[in-house]
Amino acid sequence: MNCTSKAYAKLNLSLDILGKMPDGYHEMKMVMQTVSLCDEISVSCKRGGGLSVSSDLGYIPSDERNIAYKVAYAFFEHTRISGYRTEISIKKNIPVCAGLGGGSADAACVLRMLNEMFDAGLDSKILERLGLTVGADVPFCIEGGTKLAEGKGEILTDLTPIMHSNIIICKPTFSCSTPELFSYVKCDQIRARPDTDGLIKALEQRDMMGVVRRMYNVFEDILPSRKRQEVDDIKSSMLDCGAMGAIMTGSGPAVFGVFESKIKAQDAYEYLMQQGRECYLAETMKKLC
C-alpha cells in the first residue's frame, strides 16, 4: 500500500497564556487557522516489520525522535495492527522551528493516512487523542480549519470559518526554542492580551477587519529585544505594503500578514523578497476532514 498526502501549516490568529496548570504545562487560549503552505508526505506499507522516517532535510531526525515516527508507532500500538514494514517520507516546505506547526502537521497527516490505508475507522476524536500523546498542536492539525484551542491546545471548539484570505508568511533570520521561550513566561507580568472573545464574535459576524484588529500574540512581548525588533520590522513592512494586519504565529518567529487581495499579497511578497526575506504565499483553508 502506498499513499501520498499534504500536511498543512497552522497560524495563530490569537495566542494567550492564561497561567500554569498543576502538571507544569501552561494553560493556553488560542484561535488557530489552517493555511495552504504544506509539507508533502508519502507512506508505504509492505508485508514485513519495522518503521522508518526519511526527510529531504538532513538535520531532521529519522528515528524515534521524529514526531511522525512517534505517531505512527502510537497508531499501530492502539490498533494492534502488525506485520507491516512502514516507510514515511517527508518533503519539507514548512519552515522548521518557526511557530507554524510543521512537525505537528506532519504527524496529523500520517495519522489520517494510516487510518485510511488500513481502514481502521478511527474517528477524529480518537485521532486527536493519539496525536496529543506526541504533541499539543497535533489534535488541531487533524481536522484543521478555524478553531478555538484551550488547555494545552487539545480542547478544541469549532468556530465560524474565517473569510477566505491571502496570507504572506515571513521567517526571520533567527529560530525560536519553544521550551526556552516558555521558560521566560511570567503570567502575572503579561502586559497586554488578545481580545479572543471579540475576535470570535468578529468571525461570527463575517467582519474581517474586526478579526485582524484583534489579532495578537503574547509571545511577541516575551521575545528578547533584538529578536522582537526584527519581528516588528517585518510586521511594519507588511503593513506598509497594505496588510490588513500582521502578527507573529505560535512561539515564533514566523510573522504572517493578512491581505484583502491576491494582487496586494503578491506585491508585498515581491517587496519582502527583494529585502532578502524568506517568504511564502498562502491562503486560508477550511476543515481538512
Question: Which is nearest to 46 in space by CA: 81, 79, 2?
Answer: 2
Quick one: cell of 189? 507580568
- The size of the chain, in residues, is 289
Q: Which of 10, 29, 70, 235 is catalytic?
A: 10
Q: Which of 29, 137, 147, 235 is catalytic?
A: 137
CB–CB of 131/111 below 8 Å?
yes
Those residues with Cβ within 8 angstroms of residue 284's Cβ, 6 or more apart along the chain or in another chain: 33, 34, 35, 36, 146, 162, 163, 164, 165, 167
User: SS3 for 26?
Assistant: strand
- Give dist(CA 214, CA 173) in Å, integer: 27
* 137 is a catalytic site residue: yes
| Cα pseudo-dihedral 84, 90, 94, 100, rounded to 10 | 20
* 240 is a catalytic site residue: no
Return the active site residues: 10, 137
